[in-house]
Structure 1
Amino acid sequence: MEISYLRISVTDKCNLKCFYCRPDNQEFIPHEEILRYEEIARLVKAMTKYGLRKVRITGGEPLVRPQIENLVKLIREIPEIEDIGMTTNAITLKHHAEKLKEAGLDRLNISIDSLKPELFHQITKGRLEDVLEGIRMSKKLGFDPIKVNAVIIKGLNEDEALDFVKFAIDYGVEVRFIEMMPIGQGYIKWDEEMVKPLDQVREKIEERYGRLIPSTSIGSGAARVYEIPKLGVKIGFITPISNPFCDGCSKLRLTAEGKIKLCLRTDEELSVKEVLRYGTDEDLDEFLRKVLIAKEISNLNIQKSNYAFSDCVRVMTSIGG
C-alpha cells in the first residue's frame, strides 16, 4: 500500500485549554525529546518514495513552537510534496500568517467550536476575536481555502449550525462539522450523550437552505463535503462515531516525540526517532517498509474488530488530530 498523507504534530503544548481535549494533569514532553525540524523533513522526504504527497502540521498548537515557518520551508523544498497544510486554533495567527505564506504554506484549517464569544471562552478559555483577526489577516494574504473546524457537542453548541453556515458565507471560508471523539479525554470525562449525530445537523441546514449537493472536491477522505449551490458554500461532515471512514485509510500521524501512530482508534505506535537521529538512509527505508506492513494490518484489524475510539488513551494534544 501507499501512504499519501502525513499529519505532523510539532508540539504537545497549546495556548488554549479546551475541556474535551486537554486534561488538567497533562505532563508535557521534554524539549530534548521532541523531533527537530530537520529530522521531520528527513522523514517526509523518505516517505515520498512510498506515495507521500500531502502533509499537515499540527500540535497541540503548532504556532507555539518557535520559528515554525522554518519547518514549512524545509518541507516546501521537497519537490514531491504537493500540499502543505496547518491546523491551528489561530489565537496568534495574525502574528504568523505572513511568514507562513512566504515560507510556502498552502492551506489553513482553523478550529472554532463556537461563534458566541462567551461560549467560545467557556469551551477553550480563549478569546474569539483573536481567532477572527487571524482569519481576516489570512484571507488578505491569499490563503484559500480556509477551512473552519467545529466540534459539535450536544447540549452546548449544537444550535449554532446555521450560524456557522452564515459565517462561511460572510467570511468566505469552508466549514467542517466534527463529531466529538473520546480520544485521550480532557478534564471533563467524555460521555456518549455529548455526541450529536451530524446527520441531524445536516437536516437542519437543509431545512433552511435546501438539499446539499455532494462536492466534487477531493480531500483527505475524512470529510464528506457538500455544497449549497445557490450560495457557493462548502460544508463538510466528519463522522467518526456515527459513520466511520476507515476503509482504505492511507493516513499516518507523527507525534511530536517521534512516534508514528497508525490509527486514532488505538495506541499502536512505532518509534522513528532513534532511526532519524542515528540511523542511515537505508535504516530509515527499512523502517518505513515495516510501517507500511503494520498500517495495512492495522486497517484490517480495525475493520474486523471495531475498536472503539476510547481504546486510545494518549492525550489528544500530543497526537495532532
Structure 2
Amino acid sequence: MDSDRLVVIEKRRAARDVVALTLARPDGGRLPDWAPGAHIDVTLASGATRQYSLCGDRWDAHTYRVAVLREVDGRGGSAFVHDELAAGDTVGFGGPRNHFALVPSTRYLFVAGGIGITPLLPMVHQADLVGADWALLYGGRSRDTMAFVDDLARHGDRVTVHPQDEGGLLPLAAWFAAADEDTVVYCCGPGPLLAAIEDATAHRPRHLLRTERFVAAELGAPVRDEPFVLELARTGAAVTIGPELSVLEAARRAGATALSSCEQGTCGTCETPVLAGVPDHRDSILADHERAAGDCLFPCVSRSCTDRLVLDL
C-alpha cells in the first residue's frame, strides 16, 4: 500500500448527514490511477483510518472525491470528518485498491442503498461511456438523505430514485423479473438490502451478482476448531494457531510484516497470497469463484480448513 498525504481542497454538503471531500496532493501532482469500484484508506489526525469509495471523475488525474456518511453509532471517524476536518487540512492516504471491480458486460443493473451510491457512481458513468445497456435503482430513507442525485439526473430515465418515505421498500422482485438472464448486478448498501437482493437473485447465476459491504457480515463458526500450522514462506517461520489467535496476529508474532486496516474483513488491506493449504474464507470481500480459487485470504478474519496453511509472508 502506498502511503502519502492529501490536502482537502473542498468540503461540501452532499446530502443530509453526508459530506463530500475533494482531495489532492499538496503539490498538485498526479495521483495514482483508479478504476470504478476502487477505494482508498484515509488516515485522520485523530489517528483513525477509514476506507472510502472513490466517487469522482476517474479521468481527473489530480483530484479524488469521497463522500462520508455521519455514523451515529460509529467509532468516531465520520464524526471527526463532519465536525473537525476542514478545507486546507491534510490526511494520510493509502491505495487505491479495488475488490469491487466492474467486469465487462453488455447489460448491468446497479442497486444502491444510501451511501452505497458512492462506488456505483463511477460504474454508471463507465457503463454509459462504453455504450452498455444499464439501469440504476437508488434507494434511501428520504430524498434529502440521498447524495449525488443531481449528478445522476443527466442519465434521465436510466436512473430510478426511490426514497423509502415516498415509495416504500425497493421493488427488487419486479426489477429482477424484468432483467435479462445475463445482466450483471452490482449492489452496495446496508446489510438488510444486501440480504434482500441475495434473496431476489437466488434463481440467477451467482457469478452475476457482485456486492460490497461497508459493515462486515456476521460470521458463523470457523470450519475447524482444531489448531493448525501457519508457515510463512518468506521467513521460514512456522507457528501453531489455536482458536484464540487470528492468522494476522500470529504472522506478526512470528516476525512477518503484514499491513492491515479495518481488521474486519471488509477493506482488503491485508490480502495475502496462499501458497499451500485450503483457506477458510471469513471475509466480506471475495466472490464465490474467488473463494473457490483458494489462492488468497484476508488473515485478519480468515483461517484454515487444513492442518497446514502456507502464506506468502
Into which bin does the TM-score normalised by the smaller protein fall?
Answer: 0.3 to 0.5
Q: Name the structure with the higher strand share.
A: 2
Greater fraction of residues in helix: 1
TM-score by length of 1: 0.32
Larger RCO, structures 1/2 (Cα 8 Å, 6+ apart): 1
Q: TM-score, length-normalised on structure 2?
A: 0.32
